[in-house]
Amino acid sequence: MQLSQLPLYIVDAFTDTLFKGNQAAVVPLDCWLPESVMQSIASENNLSETAFFVKNDESIFEIRWFSPLKEIDFCGHVTLASAYVIFNHLGEKETISFWAKAVDTIEVHECENGLIEMSFPNREPELVTDVPEALKTGLSITPLEFYKNQQAYFAIYANEDDVKNVVPNLEKLKTLAPLDVVVTAPSVAYDFTSRYFWPANGGVEDPVTGSIHAGLAPFWVKRLGKEKLVALQASKRTGVLYCRVEKERIFISGNCVQYLQGSISIDY
């Protein structure tokens, strides 16, 4: 056993206003902790995700993401928050690279307008013709159609009021694991809006979900016929994401606001 002091940052991602967006915990490491310790830290933080990263010999930041329940394959908002920490506290500037097994390399760039832009793989969803019963009956408002990618089912609605008013049956949606459920529609003030339910993987409703926009952006680019889109995630905290699509890459940008800088005292 050894006593360690680990740096901890909590950042509100996909917002320029404190207490909005999605809270993300970021823990930079010199070397990897045991997986059980990282999961315990994430559970103790009790935020949507906690990110841990280690800079390797090629100056790439290997990153892992943990919800309070489990390690997950891909998380956008805490990657954005991690980049914010690296740019503002760890001396890196302009462009960095993350690496994770499920998504390979994620290039991240500081924009002149203050946004941080991430390059994700294109995860465009496909139409679902054989819809699971739990999905049909797990949303209080019936969608127009359903799509699916490797992360979630997409429930498509005609208008943003349906997205804002739909009530999920969490017990039914939980049975769709490992997939989550995103509900989405065109928006009046933005290009499109969404909400994200993930009872099987992290919690009830995620405040802002960067990863799912790697599927939402290419879907709505085709539907709306626009090259660049501004998206609202209509959770209670809300978040704004700036999206563009270039062939096999999806570029998602957002702002960040730091809430806390501290340390974790831990024996392991």
Please enumerate, as own/partner, the contacts of 39-47 that have beta carbons within 8 Å and a separation of 24 or more.
Answer: 39/66, 39/70, 39/71, 41/6, 41/66, 41/264, 41/266, 42/66, 42/67, 42/68, 43/68, 43/69, 45/10, 47/10, 47/23
| 117 in catalytic set | no
35, 49, 145, 246: the active-site residue: 49
Region at 14 (left for phi over 0; alpha for psi -120 to 50; beta for the rest): left
DSSP 152-206: EEEEE-SSHHHHHH--B-HHHHHTTTT-EEEEEEE-SSSSEEEEEE-TTTT-SEE
Residue 139, CB-side half-sphere exposure with 13 Å CA sphere: 29
For the annotated catalytic residues, the residue numbers are: 49
